[in-house]
Amino acid sequence: MKLAWGQTAVCQAPISVALKQGFFKKYGLNVEPVNFSGPTDALLQAIATGQADGGIGMALRWLKPLEQGFDVDLTVGTHGGCMRLLAPQNSGIHQVKDLVGKSVAVSDQASPIRNFFAIQLAKQGINPDTQVNWLQYPSDLFGEALRKGEVQALATDDPQGWLLKKAHNLVEVDNNLNGEYAHLTCCVLGLRGSLVRDDPATARAITQAIVDAQQWTADHPEETARIFQPFVPGSVPVDDIAAMLKEHTHHHHSTGTQLRSEVAVYVDELKKINVIRPDTDAQRFAEHYVPQLLTETATHQHASNMASMSNMSS
């Protein structure tokens, strides 16, 4: 199997864990990792066209292409918590609504991070397209744009977000773990639709391997950081990577019914900013694109077993 992943995205560190710790082999899988450094919509296209069998990306990036007919199934939510809205200490930006009239740096205009914070604005009756100025910058120039005063805030993800916050002593105005989002996934494993239909046993195996790797990451963030550190550009210290991982919810690996409910939430929310068509039925959409591969009991039992193993090892 070819598994596409963005090696520099810390939220994908569990893939390196699955490779290093043998979780794929445990389920009889021979996985070839394929690095995709570009936006995850290109990764999704690679899965849909058979260049890769699966990959992990942000739900808010992938749901629109799925609505347009991409043949990819979402089999497990991998974690929450890698999006951050950052501003300088003296910016006067203390809440999302304070972005009105301000300029915000984003990686691109269809960025899932932009969409997430645009949704939060729309929920408060603010038009994110006309009342906030979203400016596109290469991610490595975010700090410079802020320093020059070209933008007043940054909408970004980890590792960049965590590192910028630390380097520039920024305030974290909001993130995707506040309120209802504390129990929602932000990233998902997508598998080629034909793989799920024609070889459900393999689809089930890779899904369970990712669940195992996510839970192992949650239980062993320091060791995960050591495994993943060679993939992160810029010689980021292991302690920093571990700190990021601890802020993410890698213990949250929703499947089946639970993942369907989370996907449906995002589908409805994307309607608020005119990304998803208003007549798209969120529940039917979720039922179509989220297969029931793992039993709920097995998933819960697995988490319990992993916790017991962690307690025994400590």
Q: Would you kindly state where each structural domain of the chain is located, as residue ranges? A: 2-80+182-313, 83-175
pLDDT attached to residue 305: 43
Nearest Cα to Cα of residue 186 among 125, 111, 124: 111
CATH superfamily label, 2-80+182-313: Periplasmic binding protein-like II (3.40.190.10)
pTM across the whole model: 0.90
pLDDT attached to residue 181: 93
pLDDT attached to residue 34: 87
Instruction: Tell me the pLDDT tens digit for each residue of 85-115.
Output: 999 999 999 999 999 999 999 999 989 999 9
pLDDT attached to residue 296: 56
3-state secondary structure of 252: coil
pLDDT attached to residue 301: 39
- Report the DSSP pairing between strands 72-79 and 103-106: unpaired
CATH superfamily label, 83-175: Periplasmic binding protein-like II (3.40.190.10)
Same fold, 2-80+182-313 and 83-175: yes
pLDDT attached to residue 48: 85
Joined together, the tokens standing for residue 273 give 């900013």
pLDDT attached to residue 44: 84
Neighbouring residues of 140: CB distance < 8 A, sequence distance ≥ 6: none
Mean pLDDT of the residues in the chain: 90
Q: What is the mean pLDDT of each run of 10 residues along the chain (314 residues)?
A: 85 89 96 80 84 92 94 94 95 97 95 96 98 95 96 95 95 94 93 96 97 96 94 88 93 94 98 97 98 68 42 37
Neighbouring residues of 250: CB distance < 8 A, sequence distance ≥ 6: 14, 78, 79, 214, 215, 217, 218, 221
